[in-house]
Structure 1
Amino acid sequence: MASHQSLTDKLPSDFLWGFATASFQIEGSTDVDGRGKSIWDDFSKLPGKTLDGRDGDVATDSYNRWKEDLDLLTQYGVKSYRFSIAWSRIIPLGGRNDPVNEAGIQFYSNLIDALLERGIVPFVTLYHWDLPQALYERYGGWLSREIIDDYVNYAKICFERFGDRVKYWCVLTHNEPWCISILGHGRGVFAPGRSSDRTRSPEGDSSTEPWIVGHNLILAHAYACKLYREEFKAKQGGTIGITLNGDMALPYDDSPENITAAQHALDVAIGWFADPIYLGDYPAFLKEMLGDRLPRFTPEELAVVTGSSEFYGMNTYTTNLCKAGGDDEFQGKVEYTFTRPDGTQLGTQAHCAWLQDYPEGFRQLLNYLYKRYSKPIYVTENGFAVKDEHNMPVEQALADHDRVQYFKGNTAVILAAVKEDGVDIRSYFAWSLLDNFEWADGYITRFGLTYVDYETQKRYPKDSAKFYVQWFKEHTEVEEAPQPAEVPQQPQSVDLPSADGEAKQDSSSSSPTVEAAEPTTTVKRVANGDAAASKVCACIPTILTVLTHLYRHP
Structure 2
Amino acid sequence: MTLRPLLMLPAVLAQQVYVPTSGPSVPSQCVANNSYATSIPSHSFQEFSFTQSETVRTATSVPAPTSTTLYAPPYDSLSHLVPNLTTTQWGNWDPSVTQAPTDTHNPYGNASRNALWSALPISDFTRGIYSATVSPTPIPTSELVLPPPEYFKPQDCYTFPSSFMLGVAGSACQIEGAIADEGRTPVLTDVLTVYSPDTSPDYVANENYYLYKQDIERIASMGVKYYSFSVPWTRILPFVLPGTPVNKQGLDHYNDLVNFVLGKGMLPTITLIHSDTPLQFYPNISDTVIVPGTGGIGYLDSAFQRSYNNVSFEDAFVHYGKVLMAHFADRVPIWFTFNEPLLGARNGKSIDAVLKAHARLYHFYKEDINGTGKISIKFNNNFGVPRDPQNPADVDAAHHFNSFQLATFANPIFLGKDYPPSYKDTVQDYVPLSASDLAYINGTADFFSIDPYTATVVSPPPNSTIKDCAATISHPLRPYCVMQSTMTATGWGIGYRSQSYVYMTPTYFRTYLSYLWNTFRSPIAITEFGFPVFGEGEKTLVDQLFDSPRSWYYQSFLTEMLKAIWEDGVQVIGAFAWSFADNWEFGHFEAQFGIQTVNRTTQERRYKKSFFELVDFVESRRQRA
Structure 2 unmatched runs, 5+: 1-54, 56-153, 288-301, 463-468, 470-475
Counterpart contact for 1:94–1:135, Cα < 8 Å? no
Aligned to 1:231: 368
Aligned to 1:104: 250
Counterpart contact for 1:93–1:133, Cα < 8 Å? no
Aligned to 1:298: 434
Counterpart contact for 2:366–2:372, Cα < 8 Å? no
1:9 match: secondary structure: coil
Aligned to 1:285: 422
Higher helix proportion (structure 1 or 2): 1
2:592 is equivalent to residue 443 of structure 1: no
2:314 is equivalent to residue 148 of structure 1: yes
Write the letter of the residue equivalent to 1:176.
E
For 2:242 and 2:204, the matched residues in 1 are separated by: 29
2:264 is equivalent to residue 129 of structure 1: no
For 2:184 and 2:423, the matched residues in 1 are separated by: 39
Counterpart contact for 1:277–1:307, Cα < 8 Å? yes
Aligned counterparts, 1:106-505, within 5 A: 106-137=252-283, 141-144=303-306, 146-166=312-332, 169-181=333-345, 209-232=346-369, 234=370, 236-253=371-388, 254-279=390-415, 280-290=417-427, 292-325=428-461, 327=469, 328=476, 330=478, 332-352=480-500, 354-440=501-587, 442-479=588-625
Counterpart contact for 2:456–2:485, Cα < 8 Å? yes
Paired positions, count: 440
2:361 match: secondary structure: helix
For 2:392 and 2:229, the matched residues in 1 are separated by: 42
C-alpha RMSD over aligned residues = 2.3
Bigger Cα displacement from structure 2, 142-151 vs 121-130: 142-151
Q: 1:76 aligns with which of 203, 210, 222?
A: 222
C-alpha displacement of 1:341: 2.4
Q: Deviations over 1:277-332 (max 9, x none)?
A: 22221102322333x32221233332222222121011110111111116455452
Write the letter of the residue equivalent to 2:438.
L
Counterpart contact for 1:249–1:320, Cα < 8 Å? yes
For 1:426 and 1:48, the matched residues in 2 are separated by: 39
Cα distance, 1:330–1:355 mapped onto 2, change above 3 Å: farther
For 2:552 and 2:455, the matched residues in 1 are separated by: 16
2:241 match: secondary structure: coil
Counterpart contact for 1:86–1:127, Cα < 8 Å? yes
2:497 match: secondary structure: coil
TM-score scaled by length of structure 1: 0.76
For 2:351 and 2:536, the matched residues in 1 are separated by: 34
Write the letter of the residue equivalent to 2:233.
W
2:169 is equivalent to residue 20 of structure 1: yes
For 1:383 and 1:175, the matched residues in 2 are separated by: 16
Counterpart contact for 1:44–1:54, Cα < 8 Å? no
Structure 1 unmatched runs, 5+: 182-208, 480-554
For 1:477 and 1:417, the matched residues in 2 are separated by: 17
C-alpha displacement of 1:124: 1.3
For 1:268 and 1:477, the matched residues in 2 are separated by: 37
Cα distance, 1:422–1:342 mapped onto 2, change above 3 Å: closer
Counterpart contact for 1:151–1:224, Cα < 8 Å? no
Counterpart contact for 2:347–2:429, Cα < 8 Å? no
Counterpart contact for 1:434–1:449, Cα < 8 Å? yes
Counterpart contact for 1:23–1:86, Cα < 8 Å? yes
1:53 match: secondary structure: coil
Write the letter of the residue equivalent to 2:248.
E
Q: Deviations over 1:135-180 (max 9, x none)?
A: 33499932236111111111111111111233xx111100101211
1:368 match: secondary structure: helix
Write the letter of the residue equivalent to 2:446.
E
Counterpart contact for 2:166–2:576, Cα < 8 Å? yes
Q: Percent identity?
A: 29
For 1:435 and 1:426, the matched residues in 2 are separated by: 25
Counterpart contact for 2:303–2:313, Cα < 8 Å? yes
Aligned to 2:204: 58
Counterpart contact for 1:28–1:59, Cα < 8 Å? yes
TM-score scaled by length of structure 2: 0.68
Cα distance, 1:359–1:157 mapped onto 2, change above 3 Å: same
